[in-house]
Copies of this chain bind each other. A is one copy, B any other.
Amino acid sequence: MPHAKLAQIHVETADEGAPEVSPVSFKMFNRIVDWITNERLQLINVTDRINEVVRKSGIRDGMVHLQSLHTTTAVFINEWQDALLHDVRTFLEDLIRRESYFRHNDPTYSDCERKNADSHLRGMVMGQSLCLQVRNSAVLLGTWQSIILAEFDGPRSRSMSIQVSGV
């Protein structure tokens, strides 16, 4: 198999901006941020909003943990480009088709009146929490990485709990 035989080149970069391993004071900062959505399946670029909270926290290096408080939403990373966002929507709509039979949507089995089994499954597959590094008072992201909050059962009001921790 090619995987095992690959001569991989590892280049380690000393990371000058990072705090070294000496003991440091641990800090924590929490905020709840809300969004009003207006489509059933909607993708929202929350990168700037998360960075504002990180800046406000006064924490320079550490982690930011994002947790959407709703099962029919998700938080994930991708490039923020209109054409690609269209593909993301199509992919999720095809992977879990709203019109398929689901017990959660069937009054014989369920008292859920929203008929949103597809929303639940999409949220479950994509995940509702995300941990990212904080470096130099900003979320560490690659050039093409944006943080996306996905609404799968809108329009609704949605809350995300943001926790910044570190030094």
Residues of A within 8 A of B (CB): 1-4, 6, 8-15, 18-39, 42-45, 49, 53, 57-59, 61-63, 65, 67-71, 76-79, 81-88, 91, 95-96, 102-104, 106, 109-110, 112, 117, 120-121, 123-133, 135, 140-145, 159, 161, 163, 165-167
Contact = CB atoms under 8 A, between A and B. Distances in A.
A interface, by DSSP: helix, strand, loop or mixed?
Answer: mixed
Contacts of A49: 10
11 contacts: A3-B85, A4-B82, A8-B35, A14-B31, A30-B61, A67-B133, A69-B142, A83-B109, A84-B103, A125-B125, A140-B161
A89 B121 CA distance: 10
